[in-house]
Amino acid sequence: MKLLPVYVALAAAQVDEKAVPPRHPLQRLNRLVEFSHELLDQWYTFLPSKASWKNKFAVNAGRMVHSFKRGNQRCGFFDASLLHGGPAGGPAGRKKRSDDYDYELFWGDDELRYDREDPKIGTKQITTGFRKWAERYLAECSGQRKYKFQIIRMNRWNSFLQAHLASQTP
């Protein structure tokens, strides 16, 4: 008879929990690749190297996965108890707003969204998403920590893709 309060408490706790668990970083990365392909298919049809760009995003994501899951030298970081799983150092006080503030992807627990109506903003959001993924989950990898490979690569890719869009604007 005294077990009834325990069952009621367990049922109440289950109702309060989210119906959709937070996404794992690899799921988020796969979603970014899907979004990059969708964006290129929708807005970059004029680009002869569109297939090459799609491959570049996929190969780069493969590199990121490899670094995240690297065997004995595992440098990828994910802690489900932290907001979005990272970064490794945890929140270091209040962050300043950056120039990308308006270009951030929506990183909700159940979905990831970008601006599908404006290719310039969508491109910036997706490349920023890859960059922030690397900052968040690969911060302890030596190449990312010392040389900022992914940050530099995504900033460069954004510049190239924005230039292609600008060349098509009358």
Give per-residue burial for 110-121: e unless 16+ CB within 10 Å, then b: eebebbeeebbe
Question: What is the widest separation between alpha-carbon atoms in the chain?
Answer: 77
Q: Is 99 exposed, middle or buried (0-12, 13-18, 19+ CB in 10 A)?
A: exposed
What proportion of the chain, given as a percentage, has pLDDT over 70? 66
Rounded Cα gap, residues 67 and 36, in angstroms? 20
Burial of 29 (0-12, 13-18, 19+ CB in 10 A): buried
pLDDT tens digits for range 84-126: 666 655 444 444 444 444 445 555 544 568 999 999 999 999 9
Q: Please name the residue that has the structure tokens 């090459």.
A: 52
Average pLDDT of the chain is 79
Q: Pick the closest to residue 46 from 119, 155, 127, 130 (CA basis).
A: 119
Lowest mean pLDDT: which of 47-51, 54-58, 76-80, 149-153? 76-80
Residue 140, token pair as written in the block: 């302890």
Could you give phi then psi for residue 11, rounded to 5 degrees? -65, -40
